[in-house]
Structure 1
Amino acid sequence: MSLRRTAGGTARVVRALTAAALGLACVALTGCAGTAPTERPPYAMAKADLGMQADATTFTEFPTAPADPAPGGDTEGVVLRVLSDVAVHQSPDGPVFAKLPAKQLNNPTWVPVIAERGKWAQVLLPSRPNGTTGWVLEDEQTQRARTPYAVDVEVDARRLTVRRDGGVIGQWVVGVGASDSPTPRGRTYIMAAIEETVTKFSPIILPLGIHSNTFSTYGGGPGTVALHTWPDPAVFGQASSDGCVRVPADALRLLATLPLGTLVHLR
């Protein structure tokens, strides 16, 4: 395992996950390989009651959850670390519809804050449908930090830009989804970092909190879109993937240093 920065600047772990550890290979988790896919409670409630709630992960779906009110909007860079299961509410003090676990794909859970109301934070969730959000109470079960980074992917222009405090620190031509399997649009975030030991097309996979709108699954996985590299540079500048964003190796090296929870715009 190797160490990476957190949003607060300390070291964190990039997990080396195998198909056995995940229950599926990366090719099943995301549209990485380019192969054809197969198709908190109210605050006073005891924490034990969260056991009745489904985890908000890339594997779950919450059709009635609040949608992102500004999918093209920016944030202040605030991110929350979930230290133990927290309730996800429809609104501040509203009904609970899920719980946000402390791990996502064996990585620490960091989610971007898109709105705040007192001690309540509206965060982006990694579940379907795309743009799913929820409200969590900031307390001893959460840790607040800020990331200065943001990633912009201009899908039509096939260009990826990394910014720090608004200034460009890297820009590349990338590959995006084909016309019949387009890269989804909206704001999302870097959900996890996986050092894949099974497939060889990318040394690190960066799953995002967003899914393919074309496929409900990639080879048995949940259809999670990711940032990753590709062995054939001819794909850069092309629309040929199953929805993932294929980036050059030097772009991946920079992206892999960004904190989890960093905002990613797919425009």
Structure 2
Amino acid sequence: MPPASARRRWLPLAIAAATLAAAALVLVLVMGMDRTPVTPAAAPASPVATPTATPTPTPSETGAPVDATSYDVSGLPAAEVYSVIPALPVDADPGAALPGLLATPASAAIPVFAAPGEAPVAQLPQAQTYGGTTVPVVERQTNWVRVLVSGRQGTPPGGNPAQLSGWLRASDVTLTEDATRVDVSLSARTVSIVTPAGTETIATDFGWGAAATPTPLGRTFIMHTAVVPSFGYTRGHPLVYLGVQSPTLAGFSGASVAVTAFHYHDAHSGAISNGCLRLDAAAIDRLAQLPLGTPVVVTG
């Protein structure tokens, strides 16, 4: 062991050395803490642009303005098979394309107009004995539809018995989409049912009106379908009555009307009838399945 004097000289040095070592350790720890990596703050998210909604364009109206008048139609003639209504026009454009719509009155009886904006000249009931209440649309506007209706403007030989038409307010009817029609070609001797899916030719020969009692040309519609047992020539098959009448006969077989119809007859080939279209059994039964109001277009 060193002498006491030597120990007295070493002790202060040892204490000083220990103090310096402790200070160095603290400095290392502090420097180490300062070197701890700092995670950088996330950059602020870019703002998301909200797309501006494109306004839906308001469809523009076509045709005549709306007519909201409440009409009393009880005193007006019904557009039905026995009526003669001089104020209603005949179909002015029988070769025009059809929009594929059927119209039915939405109430018990609705006004029929010769032209939009005028006073009504007839009524179309919701129900009639001989049909004619579901009618084809031949022209459509926003507030109005032009349709074919039963009856005549006049009787032959002095009056015009061609297919009648009239205007209905769109708010007065229920519209049904149906693009089915019947095409009759006298020259080709064909009767065809035309739908968006295709053409079904149901007759390649049939009977039509003789020269003195021709079948009316142009467009009309299926007005009424019925089996009439007293008409023995139909052999129990239905008659499909049309909304147009003979161009030459004021009446027929004691009646005051001369309605054109599809029906069965044993003789059903060529220009042999009083204006009706005579078909075989399969063809007339097929036509009888079509809904009332289906357009029928007859060409020469």
TM-score (norm: length of structure 1): 0.77
Name 2:55's counterpart in structure 1: none
Q: Hey, what's the Cα distance between the residues in 1 that align with 2:132 and 2:95?
A: 26
Structure 2 residue 272 is matched with structure 1 residue 247: no
Mean Cα displacement is larger for which, 238-247 or 76-85?
76-85
Name 1:212's counterpart in structure 2: 246
Q: Hey, what's the Cα distance between the residues in 2 that align with 1:45 and 1:147?
A: 30
Number of residue pairs the alignment of both structures matches: 220
**CA RMSD in angstroms, aligned pairs only:** 1.7
Could you list the runs of 5+ residues in structure 2 that have no partner in the other structure? 1-66, 153-160
Classify 1:133/1:107 alpha carbon distance in 2 versus 1 (closer, same or farther; 3 Å).
closer
Conserved 8 A contact 1:67-1:131: yes
Larger Rg: 2
Q: Which secondary structure does the structure 2 equivalent of 1:207 belong to?
A: strand
Could you list the runs of 5+ residues in structure 1 that have no partner in the other structure? 1-41
Structure 2 residue 109 is matched with structure 1 residue 85: yes
Matches within 5 A, 1:34-183: 43-46=68-71, 49-83=72-106, 84-107=108-131, 109-128=133-152, 129-139=161-171, 141-165=172-196, 167-172=198-203, 173-183=205-215
- How far residue 178 of structure 1 moved from its aligned partner, in angstroms, is 0.8
Name 2:52's counterpart in structure 1: none
Classify 1:134/1:85 alpha carbon distance in 2 versus 1 (closer, same or farther; 3 Å).
same
Structure 2 residue 225 is matched with structure 1 residue 225: no
AA paired with 1:206? Answer: V
The structure, 1 or 2, with the larger RCO (C-alpha pairs under 8 Å, 6+ apart) is: 1
Per-residue displacement from partner, 1:156-180 (whole Å, max 9, x unpaired)?
3332111112621123111000111
Matches within 5 A, 1:246-265: 246-265=278-297
Classify 1:205/1:258 alpha carbon distance in 2 versus 1 (closer, same or farther; 3 Å).
same
Conserved 8 A contact 1:147-1:259: no
- How far residue 93 of structure 1 moved from its aligned partner, in angstroms, is 2.5
Per-residue displacement from partner, 1:38-96 (whole Å, max 9, x unpaired)?
xxxx64234xx211100111111223322323112220210011242110012122221
Conserved 8 A contact 1:92-1:117: no
